Structure 1
Amino acid sequence: MKRKYVVAAFTATVVTAAGLTGCSAGDATSGDGTDGPVTISILESKQTNIDAISKEIPGFEAAMKEQGKDIKVDLIADVLTDEQVKTKLTQQLIAGQAPDVLDIGENMAIAWSSAGYLEPLDSYLDQWEGWEHYYPAVKEAMTRQDGQVYNLPSGAGVLNLFYRKDVLEQLGVDTTQPKTWDDLISRLEKVKAATGGTPIVIPAGTAWGGGTWGEGFQPLLGGTDTGYYDSETATWDLDTPGWLAVFELYAELVQKGLMPVQDLQNPNPWEPTKYVKFPAGDIQVSAQGTWGWKFDWGPDGATPIDGLTEKVSTWQWPGLRDGDQPYGWSSTGGGYAISADSDKKAAAFEFIKYLSSGKPLAEQLVASGAASARDDLDDVAPYSGEPQLLQAGEDLSNSVFVVTGDGADQISQAVATATELILSGQADGKQAYEAFKKDATDLLGPSLVKQ
């Protein structure tokens, strides 16, 4: 096992690990074999995931029984915010009391694998035929700097620009795929002239938190410049030209009054933009991921849009610089990992395999509004009955993704702060880039910045 160290970004708020609910290494049902009896644990912090995993546990336990294995699953259901679950699991990992199976986000997977808190899955994946069905881009995205895989995606998606086809058509604005941002901005200016509103929202500023980087800036950057992270040296290249290009795009959108600045500076900026103005047709273009079809605007979403698939469609991200082509941005999220301190790793992987295959996976994907990271699920119900997810899966097979490593949280913080300067009128694109570069350098430290 790699030497463990504390990840500064995740442990700043950690004061104690005592009294936490988790899986102790001294559990009386321990045993790394899968014959049992053994009880493995998993923590879920979102109600959708709690409901989905609860539904799958009886089927898993029955399937194991048919194979002569006595494996039970203890679901720890604790509804928490992303920051709360990050803090809680950090405490548990430090104390060696984390659940056996971790359902975690991408940044947590990156940091905790580097810290030695997660078990490498390669030896298990090499013996599992299901691994052959994952898209090559997904496999690449899951591989860390040391060449090993530490988490298996529970779903995937593609981030695109969702647009109100019905409104744009009524305004006589072209709805074909824009090839460049100059093309799209020209259309947005026509919308603004006709409506007086702010026609596009892309996450920006500090109030949006990590979404500013993960759902806005990074997709723009990755399609423009794939060299911003050097996986061979595990460093961030802050001088690569894509950074400035993206900051200048944000500045242009704000300067031309195309972005809802006031909404972006208020708490929970996704509410007035994605949950009010886009459903009302007052914002016509929104950066969004596959999950938007279900959680934002679907029948059971935050703000349902009647006739959603007739009124809303998607564009790929347009090219930002000369020669850039439109593209989709992969969102592989995090997924299932195994605590390095678990003494039930083989049984834990049996559960991960079950959740990541066939009908159990299809049911989870539909519940979460995610696309399949595998190429063999299109005919499996209920996933087979979701045309938007099927399309996202097809897009996923050839979309863009840049593998990164340690420092993603620090980059996210610096991007949010720099774009906030643009929103507040304190900086243009070049000034925001210079502020970002200084801030990111300080946050990352010399070991993570490419020289």
Structure 2
Amino acid sequence: MAAFAATLMTAAGLSACSPNDGGGGGDGSDKPVTISIMETKKTNIDAIGKVIPGFEAAMKKQGKDITVKLIADELTDEQFQTKMTQQLIANQAPDVLDIGENMAISWSSAGYLTSLDDYLNKWDGWSHYYPAIKKAMVRQDGHVYNLVSGAGVQNFFVRKDVLEKEGIDTSQPQTWDDMIARLEQAKEKTGDTPIVIPAGTAWGGGTWGEGFQPLLGGTDQSYFDAKSGKWNLKSAGWLAVFDLYSKLVSKGLMPVKDLQNPNPWEPTKYKKFPAGQIQVAAQGTWGWRFDWGPEGATPIPGLDQKVITWQYPALRAGDKTYGWSSAGGGYAIPAKSKNKDAAMEFVKYLSSGKVLADQLVASGAASARNDLNGVAPYSGQPHLLDAGKDLANSVYVVTGDGADKVGQATATATELILSGKANGQQAYDAFVKDATDLLGPSLVQG
């Protein structure tokens, strides 16, 4: 799940190739064409294999002779990125790429991907994407290079059953002061460390994407300037979030030893939250299925009755509570593909109707579109439907080059807090120095 969650994070990029308008191989004709798509996960391989015949039949009805070749090669994300980078450079990549946002950062900035703007502006499906997700797909140069197939919303998952048993309010906290007061009640009555938010170096990229950034983005959205592509390390939100981590740790509300475990999600999300010994966990939509659902890593019997979600309280007075959007993987087309038009037809097919509904239910992702609520089997997934409501008004901040380095610096700085070596201010000071060194002067605002 850490790997799955890592694909639910941020991106930015450059470069474009103008698409053609025809339905054939990219030259405006309707001649027979074969396109290829590569999938590296077993579930995706099975899902795409099932929909190819339907797509080919649908195209024939439109007078387009398009054949799809599925390249099935089970690889880790790192193996796929290495292999595909080589193929993109050598002009040997498949016509459709199913990629995470982190891959889109390097490949779009390197000029390896086609701008999808012209296609999307002519497609009626584009108007149905939630504003926050549309924003998430726009890169630094103002173009879209991969069409997101699903999305997630991060909230706090809450053991309502445990809190109610202890007489603790389970309604939405409006402020962090309110939330911390309830966490202190939970600690006093249960003896537990009641909340887990990813922190420290052991959690890897999740410390930034699942822990720090959702808190930061709801408080101060000026930490990255999309126009200049630079990080504003003086933005007030950084210190506010480090202070929050420091307060939670100093009050004994965070499971410090568990967070310093080599696999910190195991004792926290896979053991203590299911056991009710952690009552609040920062978590994304996928948790309903992959972590605690009937087929998840550690199922919680009676999940729907025992667990609810809270939005994030804001760190600034007067700000509203919010959900944090995370864009999932998406479909992209290499800039050097000779079959862009046919490839885009397949991308649109995969991103619409029942075909999309089946994929989303299989992956546990929420729809990035607002018109899927009545489409089975998605229509029968109440948690995903609720996540869609959150997506309509959720917060998302587009970032760009250097996000991985910022993530590294936040992990190191929060580790100082966990180890008792720094308070919020000291952790922030260490973060600024570290991030400045890692990013270099070209990516940091003066």
Tell me the TM-score normalized by structure 1.
Answer: 0.90
Letter in 2 for 1:123: D
| Alignment counterpart, residue 243 of structure 1, candidates 227, 238, 246 | 238
- Aligned residue among 99, 102, 106 for 2:97: 102
Looking at structure 2, the residues matched to 371 and 325 of structure 1 have their Cα atoms a distance apart, in angstroms, of 23
1:237 counterpart letter in structure 2: N
Aligned to 1:291: 286
Q: Do the aligned partners of 2:25 and 2:341 also contact (CA within 8 Å) in 1?
A: no
Deviation at 1:87, TM superposition (A): 2.7
* Match of residue 386 from structure 1: 381
1:33–1:347 CA contact under 8 A, matched in 2:
no
Three-state SS of the structure 2 residue aligned to 1:348 is helix
Counterparts of residues 254-273 of structure 1 (less than 5 Å): 254-273=249-268
C-alpha RMSD of matched pairs (Å):
1.7
- The answer to whether the 8 A contact 1:417-1:436 is kept is yes
1:304 counterpart (299, 311, 325): 299
Structure 1's unaligned 5+ residue stretches are: 1-28
Q: In the alignment, which of 252, 258, 274 is matched to residue 279 of structure 1? A: 274
SS in 1 for 2:218: helix
Which stretch of structure 1 is more off in the superposition, 221-230 or 332-341? 332-341
Describe how 1:168-183 pairs up with structure 2 within 5 A. 168-183=163-178
Distance (Å, rounded) in 1 between the aligned partners of 2:429 and 2:367: 39
- For 2:310, the equivalent position in structure 1 comes to 315
1:351 deviation in Å? 0.8
SS at match of 1:160: strand
Please state if 1:227 is matched with 2:219: no
Alignment match, 1:115: 110
How far, CA to CA, are the matches of 2:246 and 2:80 in structure 1? 34
Does residue 398 of structure 1 match 2:393? Answer: yes
- Is the 2:25–2:342 Cα contact (8 Å) retained in structure 1? no
Aligned amino acid, residue 61 of structure 1: E
Q: State how far apart, in whole Å, the 2-side matches of 1:148 and 1:349 are.
A: 16
Contact 1:57 1:73 in 2 (8 A): yes
Deviates more, 1:185-194 or 1:90-99: 90-99
Contact 2:225 2:231 in 1 (8 A): yes
| CA offset digits 1:127-150 (Å, max 9, x no partner) | 211111112222222111211111
| Matched residue SS, 1:370 | coil
Give the 3 Å change call, closer, same or farther, for CA 71–141 of structure 1 in structure 2: same
Give the alignment partner of residue 52 of structure 1, picking from 47, 52, 68. Answer: 47
Q: Which moved more, 1:426-435 or 1:386-395?
A: 426-435
User: What is the letter of the counterpart of residue 205 of structure 2?
Assistant: G
Rounded to whole Å, the distance in 1 between the matches of 2:363 and 2:64 is 29
Hey, what does 2:341 align to over in structure 1?
Answer: 346
- State whether residues 45 and 78 of structure 1, in contact with CA within 8 Å, keep that contact through their aligned partners in structure 2: yes
Say which SS state the counterpart of residue 384 (structure 2) adopts.
Answer: helix
Label 1:176 to 1:43 Cα distance change in 2 as closer, same or farther (>3 A): same
In structure 2, C-alpha distance between the alignment counterparts of 1:46 and 1:255, rounded to whole Å: 41
| 1:185 and 2:176 aligned | no
Task: Give distance in 2, aligned partners of 1:269 and 1:146.
Answer: 37
Q: Deviations over 1:290-331 (max 9, x none)?
A: 111111111111111111111110000012132232111111
1:31 positional shift: 6.0
Would the alpha carbon gap of residues 209 and 88 (structure 1) be closer, same or farther in structure 2, given more than 3 Å must change? farther
Does structure 2 conserve the Cα–Cα contact (< 8 Å) formed by 1:152 and 1:336?
Answer: yes
Partners of 1:34 and 1:347 within 8 A in 2: no
Shift of 1:34: 6.9
Q: After superposition, give the CA deviation of every residue in 1:350-375 in whole Å (9 maximum; x if it has no partner).
A: 11000000110111111111111111
What is the deviation of 1:415? 1.2
- Whether the aligned pair in 2 keeps the contact of 1:138 and 1:332 (CA below 8 Å) is yes
> What amino acid does structure 1 have at the position aligned with 2:210?
E
In structure 2, the CA distance between the partners of 1:131 and 1:316, relative to structure 1 (3 Å rule), is same
Provide structure 2 residue ranges, at least 5 long, that are not aligned to the other structure. Answer: 1-23
Q: Give me the whole-angstrom Cα distance separating, in 2, the residues matched to 1:191 and 1:62.
A: 58
Could you tell me how far 1:43 is from its partner in structure 2? 2.3
Shift of 1:33: 5.4
TM-score w.r.t. structure 2 length? 0.91
- How many Å separate the matches in 1 of 2:415 and 2:123? 46
Deviates more, 1:129-138 or 1:345-354: 129-138
